[in-house]
Amino acid sequence: MMDTRIKTAAAGEVLVIDDVINFIKYEDDDVGNEMSLIAQMIAAVRVHFERRTGLSFIEKTYETLFKLDDRPYILPVSPVISVDKVELVDYEGTKTELDLNSDYYKRGLYQVEIQTSQMTGWPNPWHSIGSHYDLLVTYKAGYDHDDTEPLPFDLKDAIKKQVMQWYNNRDDFYEDKILGSIDRILQLYKTKVF
């Protein structure tokens, strides 16, 4: 079973805090603790939505480790910006980097599939004297990059609405409750959940 982790976190957030403050109509002059809470809610909503949809709302670097039997090797996070490295990992953890268009191939625009030589009829880099290897793929994914589209408006709007719901109903925030109308939007975008 594949295993995915975030290798480098995002530098910022998908929404500017002032946009969310205006949306929830926050007008108090005591902004210290409340601004911190709202910023925390924006990040929490984004992370929750990313996990529910399999999308990366902002650019991050990911690593996915595929086992030999995980085929097809489809990267579980979209939209993919770039595939930076594909490596074989042996049973001792030794990594061997593969070359694009000879040892492995990538196809697809939104969800990217990694195909090894074995799958295309070329010599098999997965076996060496009967040993099996895992496949480690390092890649970037996220919206609002030159190679991907902007984050869809309905997802940005859903973040604002969910932050407002959590801000006005703190119990929902602590229990991670999502509004039904927002859950329906997330279902439209759902890909693979990692």
Average pLDDT in the chain: 86
118-146 pLDDT per residue, tens: 554 444 554 444 456 899 999 999 999 99
What is the pLDDT averaged over residues 167-187?
Answer: 89
Yes or no: say if 56 and 79 are a contact pair by the CB < 8 Å rule.
yes
Question: pTM of the entire structure?
Answer: 0.85
The set of residues, in sequence order, having a beta carbon less than 8 Å from that of 6 and lying 6+ positions away, is 60, 61, 62
| Strand duo 95-97 + 104-107: pairing | unpaired
